[in-house]
Structure 1
Amino acid sequence: MKRLDRILIKLIVIQFIILICAQILVQQNNIQPYLSRVVQYEGVNKITITEWLETFSQSE
């Protein structure tokens, strides 16, 4: 039983480390365009912030 407990604890620790690394990776701004394909499909990955704001102000 102790062996199984040690294996489970190791798996939980490894899973937690992978979760933290994935969260840090998703938070990076320069990596987000590679992770999110929605931006590429919508075609908004190359517009400036002013064009982006104009899009929202025209829709109202």
Structure 2
Amino acid sequence: LVHSSIPDKLQELYKNGYKLVIFTNESNIERWKNKRQQAVDSKIGRLDKFIGRVKVPIQ
């Protein structure tokens, strides 16, 4: 994360009734014709790490 305060701020927002929604524009995955699954797994891995660091429930 760029700023160490991000997890605390997201947790504060969650406690105040907000939900975290993540949108992504990963159109470049289609460029990986032969390695598409590898590209998808990489994106999912980065998202899992983010979720683990911010410690906010994800639906």
Q: TM-score range by the shorter chain?
A: 0.3 to 0.5
Higher relative contact order (CA 8 A, sep 6+): 2
More helix by share: 1
